[in-house]
Amino acid sequence: MNKQTIYWPPGEAEAGAKEAASVLANGGLVAFPTETVYGLGADARSDAAVEAIFAAKGRPSDNPLIVHLADAEAAIKLADRVSKLERMLMDAFWPGPLTLVVPVREGVLSPRVTAGLDTVGVRVPDHELARRLIAASGCPIAAPSANRSGRPSPTAARHVLEDLDGRIDGVLDGGATGVGLESTVVRVLGGKVHILRPGGITAEQLQAAVGGGAAVRAEAEGEPKPGEFKPGESKPAAEAPRSPGVKYAHYAPRGAMTLVLGDQARLPAAVQAAADEARARGERVAVLASSENAGAYRADAVLPLGPRGEPEQAAHALYAALRECDDRDIACIVAESFPEAGIGAALRNRMLKAAGGRILHV
């Protein structure tokens, strides 16, 4: 694979989106910003174009793609049926970082998009450039995050180029993305909203939108939390809806990351001790820290993610920080955990994945 990748700089949005749309119409691959992370887009109706996404990313073909659309009407056309609760979520959160997994209508999309499932993930992104591209192309755009499989999702055009230059046809630069973590993926089943992947829309926001009438539940990734399913309850964990993507290692920096969990007051000493241990082994060490604590750490790099009380900032900064660790040849990353409220839940989820099981409880 050795393509000439076209770069459309910020400020050339209008012309760039039109040209990018014609690349998509010809079966090409274009990366574009959304409010969450950059996506790698292709015409979702074309088998060849969708296959090219999997090839460019090195993505396992059994992991389905999200389809990006102009509005709820366009999404409903791809669905076999849409319940009242699903429509309510579309109206409450679109455009915005919510993906709904709905039964797919036959014949409207390449079967490669859904990886053979009878459902499809649909969303309406809240980003001017993404919306222009969708409007100009007139096609449903299948788009996973625009990173090589297993790398942190891109939150800037240069991240896309780091991973995919020469493997895709173009990238529209819209500057840094806002949310910084991916969309929340939900499935409505049995009158309940199941969160398959936490993300930009929080569980609290979902619950507020559906009111007391419907339950919102976080599907445990891997094992259910103790007490989550009461004995005799109708839906044991094994039958809960799952997102194929959650079984893959994800969001991984090249260095080995350890996430330090537990009592906030004890975090700094534990983080410093872990960093010192790695340095004693001769490794280059980075600390991912809250801005309150960042100044006190000694390491090869200290990357402040934001104040402890503002997980939005840490969400926005996390992926770029992981990539910076790679750029600086960091072998060991020690990260402070952040509170789990609001988007803090998605932040925790991504940090756990980046740590790949290396967790230190203090």
For Mg ion, the binding residues in 248-287 under the rule CB under 5 A are none
β-strands 66-68, 141-142 pairing:
antiparallel
Query: Minimum distance between the CB of residue 258 and ligand TXA, rounded to whole angstroms?
Result: 24
Residue 142 phi, psi (nearest 5): -80, 130
Check residue 245 for interaction with ligand TXA (CB under 6 A). yes
Question: Is the alpha carbon torsion for 322, 328, 329, 334 positive or negative?
Answer: negative
Q: Applying CB under 6 A, does 140 fall inside the site for ligand TXA? A: no
Do 246 and 196 contact (CB within 8 A), yes or no? yes
202 among annotated binding-site residues? no
| Cβ distance to Mg ion smaller for residue 13 or 143 | 143
Does residue 145 interact with Mg ion by CB under 5 A? yes
**Partner in contact with 293, chosen from ligand TXA, Mg ion, none, beta carbon below 5 to 8 Å by kind:** none
What one-letter code names the amino acid at 284? R
User: What six digits make up the tokens of 89?
Assistant: 């979520």
CA-based nearest residue to 20, from 35, 9, 32, 10: 32
Residue 138 to residue 151: CA distance in whole angstroms? 30
Tell me which residues in 33-72 interact with ligand TXA (CB under 6 A).
34, 36-37, 39, 63-66
Query: What is the arrangement of strands in the sheet containing 256-261, beginning at the earlier edge strand?
Result: 301-306, 285-290, 332-336, 256-261, 359-361
State the number of binding residues for ligand TXA (CB under 6 A): 28
Tell me if 196 contacts ligand TXA by CB under 6 A.
yes
Decide if residue 243 touches Mg ion (CB under 5 A): no
The tokens of 283 are what? 């490794």
State yes or no: residue 131 binds ligand TXA (CB under 6 A): no
Binds ligand TXA by CB under 6 A, chosen from 60, 244, 262, 309: 244
Shortest distance (Å) from residue 153 CB to Mg ion? 5
Alpha-carbon distance of 346 to 220, in angstroms, equals 13
Does 349 contact ligand TXA by CB under 6 A?
Answer: no
Helices (H), 211-266: none
Q: Is 337 in the site for ligand TXA (CB under 6 A)?
A: no
Of 41, 144, 131, residue with least CA distance to 94: 131
* 177 is an interface residue for ligand TXA by CB under 6 A: no
Q: How far is the CB of 212 from ligand TXA (least distance, A)?
A: 27
Query: If contact means CB under 5 to 8 A according to the sort of partner, which of Mg ion, ligand TXA, none does residue 289 touch?
Result: none
Query: Residue 106: how many CB atoms within 10 A of its CB?
Result: 9
Tokens representing 243 are: 């997102």
Q: What's the one-letter identity of residue 103? A: P
Q: Which residues of this chain interact with ligand TXA, rule CB under 6 A?
A: 34, 36-37, 39, 63-66, 97, 99, 101, 114, 117, 119-121, 143-145, 182-183, 185, 196-197, 243-246
Binding-site residues for ATP? 59, 63, 119, 145, 153, 197, 251
Binding-site residues for L-threonine? 36, 68, 123, 143, 183
